[in-house]
């Protein structure tokens, strides 16, 4: 494990090629030790600091100069939600991942943290002695640090391109050092024109949405524009999120959309005028129930390392609505939703993906875009109006 307290400028351009510097802030010595070992074992990360309170983090942020902070919510002296704006005031590009146990209070605080500038959240297991819970926490945390940190560096590289090397003077001796070749872009396809396909000629009868990292903010923004669609057809959403958090998200979606929104209940009928959100820890599918369509929830194995996962919802919808489906894939890590979206397109439906620039992580939408199955790849602020037009009869 590498632990570094190098005192470097927060604007140093040389950091791009080095490992991601991670600051761990948690009053639990056990959690600090676990995360420090996990981070230290990764080739592209290092522990910049391991601190007990938010006050220590605020006081030392400029000296430590981390790329990513894993910030506990409940701490003495200065808790995470109070430390968050102070940390961002001192280092505005700091990636902050909030960590909390699964309680309703902490879920509410995590959502508030997202609105204050936190990049993401992660639930801590109630007991690290339970191997499966610790393994999930380990996997998810490392992936979030890596992907969110990489996005920070891509943005920094675009904002501050490397300076051209100075011409050697006549007095210069020895070979002139050549600048290192730029690293390949993480999403090479985003720099070229991605192939899109025509929208389906069938009128959509349902709207399906899948999202992950960055999804809560994106969803709350999107549903504010979807009133006419929600009145006309059911809207089903799978967001990668644990229990309790989905309960809170459903309440936020109801307030943002001013439409009924709730966690889906096994066996309940699927009707227009409502938003159905997959509950944390269970896959959501749709099934025939006599002449009606109903929700089917299951506690099966994770799909694409996720539960709930987007693919089960997307593929199950084909048996009900065939090609009369419009699916939207929003920001998120991984490729969940891409296979289900392929099946939707093969059945005659359509797919819209969020573009890279407006995504927190362009994993899920990027996978769909690069697969050539999307009919549009749009910024988040253009998706709502496009969806409304498609449900109003536009087929272009």
CA 314 to the chain's CA centroid: 19
Helices (H), 41-76: 54-64
Long-range CB pairs of 230-233 (<8 Å, 24+ gap) are 230/257, 230/259, 230/272, 230/273, 230/274, 230/275, 231/259, 231/272, 231/273, 232/272, 232/391, 233/204, 233/205, 233/206, 233/207, 233/272, 233/391
Length of the chain measured in residues: 396
Q: CATH 3.40.50.180 residue ranges in the chain?
A: 195-391
Given a contact cutoff of 8 angstroms between Cβ atoms, the answer to whether 357 and 117 are in contact is: no
Tell me which residues are annotated as active site. Answer: 212, 240, 336
**pLDDT at res. 126:** 74
Provide the token pair at 393.
Answer: 């009869």
Q: At 67, phi and psi to the nearest 5?
A: -90, -40
Provide the token pair at 261.
Answer: 């929104």
**pLDDT at res. 174:** 39
pLDDT in 10s for each residue of the chain, 396 residues? 434 433 333 333 345 568 999 999 999 999 999 999 999 999 999 999 999 999 999 999 999 999 999 999 999 999 999 999 999 999 999 999 999 888 899 999 999 999 999 999 999 887 666 666 788 889 999 999 999 998 877 766 666 555 444 444 443 333 333 333 333 333 444 435 788 999 999 999 999 999 999 999 999 999 999 999 999 999 999 999 999 999 999 999 999 999 999 999 999 999 999 999 999 999 999 999 998 999 999 999 989 889 999 999 999 999 999 999 999 999 999 999 999 999 999 999 999 999 999 999 999 999 999 999 999 999 999 999 999 999 999 988
Given a contact cutoff of 8 angstroms between Cβ atoms, the answer to whether 369 and 359 are in contact is: no
**Domain 195-391 carries which CATH code?**
3.40.50.180
CATH classification of 16-157, choosing from 3.30.70.360, 3.40.50.2000, 3.40.50.2300, 3.30.930.10? Answer: 3.40.50.2300
**pLDDT at res. 16:** 56
Q: CATH 3.40.50.2300 residue ranges in the chain?
A: 16-157
**pLDDT at res. 158:** 64
Cα–Cα distance between 263 and 277 in angstroms, integer? 5
Given a contact cutoff of 8 angstroms between Cβ atoms, the answer to whether 27 and 52 are in contact is: yes
């Amino acid at each position: 494990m590498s632990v570094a307290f190098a005192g470097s400028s927060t604007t140093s351009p040389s950091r791009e090629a080095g490992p991601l510097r991670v600051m761990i802030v948690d009053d639990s010595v056990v959690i600090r030790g676990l995360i420090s070992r996990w981070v230290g074992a990764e080739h592209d990360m290092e522990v910049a600091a391991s601190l007990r309170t938010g006050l220590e983090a605020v006081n030392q942020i400029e000296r430590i100069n981390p790329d990513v902070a894993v910030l506990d919510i409940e701490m003495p002296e200065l808790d995470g939600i109070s430390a968050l704006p102070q940390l961002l005031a001192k280092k505005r590009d700091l990636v902050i991942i909030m960590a909390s146990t699964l309680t309703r209070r902490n879920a509410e605080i995590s959502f508030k943290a997202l609105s204050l500038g936190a990049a993401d959240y992660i639930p801590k297991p109630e007991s690290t002695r339970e191997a499966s819970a610790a393994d999930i926490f380990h996997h998810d945390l490392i992936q979030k640090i890596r992907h969110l940190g990489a996005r920070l560096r891509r943005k920094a590289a675009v904002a501050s391109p490397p300076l051209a090397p100075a011409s050697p003077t006549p007095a210069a001796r020895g070979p002139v050092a050549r600048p290192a070749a730029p690293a390949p872009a993480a999403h090479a396809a985003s720099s070229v024109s991605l192939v899109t396909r025509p929208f389906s000629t069938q009128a959509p009868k349902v709207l399906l949405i899948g999202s992950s990292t960055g999804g809560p903010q994106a969803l709350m923004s999107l549903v504010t524009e979807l009133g006419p669609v929600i009145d006309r057809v059911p809207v089903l959403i799978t967001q990668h999120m644990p229990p309790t958090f989905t309960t809170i998200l459903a309440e936020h979606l109801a307030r943002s959309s001013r439409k009924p929104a709730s966690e889906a209940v096994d066996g309940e009928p699927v009707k227009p005028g409502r938003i159905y959100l997959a509950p944390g820890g269970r896959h959501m599918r749709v099934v025939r129930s006599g002449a009606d369509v109903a929700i089917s929830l299951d506690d099966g194995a994770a799909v694409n390392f996720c539960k709930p996962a987007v693919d089960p919802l997307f593929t199950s919808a084909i048996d009900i609505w065939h090609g009369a489906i419009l699916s939207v894939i929003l920001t998120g890590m991984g490729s969940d939703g891409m296979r289900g979206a392929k099946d939707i397109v093969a059945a005659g439906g359509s797919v819209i993906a969020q573009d890279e620039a407006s995504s927190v992580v362009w994993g899920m939408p990027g996978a769909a875009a690069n697969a050539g199955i999307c009919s549009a790849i749009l910024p988040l602020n253009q998706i709502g109006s496009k969806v409304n037009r498609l449900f109003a009869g536009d087929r272009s």
